[in-house]
């Protein structure tokens, strides 16, 4: 999108905000200073020494969006959402499209909501609800979910409809939350002539928040070229609030497939931990993740990760945080089995310190 078109869009959004109270411009900016004791060098998987970087998305993705609704009847509203990713380090936006995170419209009421277009998958929402690490953007359960779908990166990938099993195009979804119970289901049309399975995505998730915490999800995508599976995931998690603490267990099974249907990776990630709220502003989080590849002969594709986080709220919108991480990678560890979000140095223990600030507007 060129600058003139973007400026015109912003003026239009501003006019809408002025005319309607239910249109909201929102966003999040999250930036941290990241130090990693061991990082891959010129040759992948080999220790290239320590690395320092300006890291975006320590605890939340940096995003910009517009959302709103219009009341149509007593129990019927029209809703819409447009959202893009932002990298504050260099100002870049999007994955492979400007509104890569969301571009959808729908209807909502006491009966739930239906959306059509580009949107986040319900399976991911249910899975992250049980993450012992509090579903942070970096150094948590989100990373194995994404990297086990690395061949699905939107336009031109194995499944163009899917972006890392996060966001799905050409889809229709139903979601509803009532009395602590969340249910969601999504179907993405493959739009491939002669093969209704090709490029198709199905995603379902459910969770419960009450005296106990429960969550389960299932997600699958198919190759656009053959209609064979490109990835499949399932998760199951549980937790319990105990005073100021919340303890959780979570399990993810994730498979990636070649276009022929052959299983290319068969990973499992088991995690345990929780959070403790010292007061309304201060929270501590501790989580342990064990990942491994179950394919025959892939026993060294494994990693153990420990995360300790300290978060302090300066206000309702601004959080200061520090994340301390140790990752022990096996001799053949892949990016999927660790929570690093990238290739770990194999056969070594890496440490990460990430200190940053997140502001929501």
Q: Reduced to 3 states, what is the DSSP secondary structure of residue 166?
A: coil
Q: State how far the Cα of 17 lies from the Cα of 75, in Å rounded to an integer.
A: 23
- Is the alpha carbon torsion for 163, 164, 167, 171 positive or negative? positive
- 358: buried, middle or exposed (CB in 10 Å: 19+, 13-18, 0-12)? buried
Range of the domain at 347: 36-360
- Answer whether residue 69 is part of any domain: yes
- Answer whether residue 149 is part of any domain: yes
Name residue 205's beta-bridge partners: 184, 217
Nearest by Cα to 353 from 31, 49, 35, 32? 35
Number of separate domains in the chain:
1
- Answer whether residue 288 is part of any domain: yes
- Answer whether residue 292 is part of any domain: yes
The answer for 7, left when phi > 0, alpha when psi is -120 to 50, beta otherwise, is alpha
- Answer whether residue 3 is part of any domain: no
Q: State how far the Cα of 57 lies from the Cα of 358, in Å rounded to an integer.
A: 8
- Answer whether residue 25 is part of any domain: no
Tokens of residue 18, six digits: 């002025």
- Answer whether residue 13 is part of any domain: no
pLDDT score of 16: 44
Contact at 8 Å (CB) between 125 and 182?
A: yes
- Is the alpha carbon torsion for 123, 129, 132, 133 positive or negative? positive
pLDDT score of 2: 46
Q: State how far the Cα of 72 lies from the Cα of 57, in Å rounded to an integer.
A: 37
Question: Domain with 231 in it: what CATH number?
Answer: 2.40.160.10
Per-residue pLDDT of the chain in tens (361 residues, 90 and over written 9):
444 444 444 444 444 444 445 899 999 999 999 999 999 876 766 788 999 999 999 999 999 999 999 999 999 999 999 999 999 989 888 777 899 999 999 999 999 999 999 999 999 999 999 999 999 999 999 999 999 999 999 989 999 999 999 999 999 999 999 999 999 999 999 999 999 999 999 999 999 999 999 999 999 999 999 999 999 999 999 999 999 999 999 999 999 999 999 999 999 999 999 999 999 999 999 999 999 999 999 999 999 999 999 999 999 999 999 999 999 999 999 999 999 999 999 999 999 999 999 999 9
Residue that is written with structure tokens 């809703």 in the block: 79
- Answer whether residue 30 is part of any domain: no
Cα dist from 119 to 13, 203, 250, whole Å = 20, 11, 24
């Amino acid at each position: 999108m060129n600058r003139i078109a973007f400026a015109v869009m912003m003026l239009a959004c501003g006019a809408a905000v002025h005319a309607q109270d239910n249109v909201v411009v929102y966003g999040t900016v999250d930036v941290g200073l990241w130090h990693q004791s061991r990082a891959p060098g010129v040759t992948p998987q080999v220790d290239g020494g320590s690395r320092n970087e300006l890291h975006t998305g320590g605890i939340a993705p940096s995003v910009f969006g517009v959302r709103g609704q219009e009341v149509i009847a007593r129990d019927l509203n029209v809703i819409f959402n447009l959202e893009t990713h932002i990298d504050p380090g260099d100002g870049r936006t999007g994955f492979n499209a400007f509104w890569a995170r969301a571009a959808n419209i729908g209807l909502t009421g006491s009966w739930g909501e239906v959306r059509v277009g580009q949107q986040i998958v319900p399976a991911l929402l249910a899975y992250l609800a049980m993450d012992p690490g509090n579903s942070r953007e970096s150094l948590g359960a989100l990373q194995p979910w994404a990297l086990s779908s690395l061949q699905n990166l939107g336009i031109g990938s194995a499944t163009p409809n899917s972006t890392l099993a996060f966001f799905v195009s050409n889809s229709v979804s139903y979601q509803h939350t009532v009395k602590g119970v969340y249910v969601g289901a999504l179907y993405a049309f493959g739009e491939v002539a002669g093969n209704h399975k090709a490029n198709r995505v199905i995603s379902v998730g459910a969770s419960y928040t009450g005296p106990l915490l429960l969550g389960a999800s299932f997600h699958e995508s198919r190759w656009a070229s053959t209609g064979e599976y490109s990835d499949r995931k399932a998760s199951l998690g549980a937790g319990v609030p105990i005073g100021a603490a919340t303890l959780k267990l979570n399990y993810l099974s994730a498979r990636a497939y070649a276009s022929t249907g052959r299983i290319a990776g068969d990973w499992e990630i088991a995690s345990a931990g929780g959070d403790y709220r010292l007061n309304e502003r201060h929270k501590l989080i501790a989580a342990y993740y064990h990942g491994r590849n179950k394919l025959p002969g892939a026993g060294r594709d494994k990693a153990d990760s420990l995360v300790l986080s300290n978060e302090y709220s300066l206000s309702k919108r601004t959080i200061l945080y520090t994340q301390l991480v140790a990752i022990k990678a096996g001799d053949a560890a892949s990016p999927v089995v660790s929570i690093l979000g990238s290739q770990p140095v194999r056969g070594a223990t890496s440490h990460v310190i990430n200190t940053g600030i997140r502001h929501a507007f």
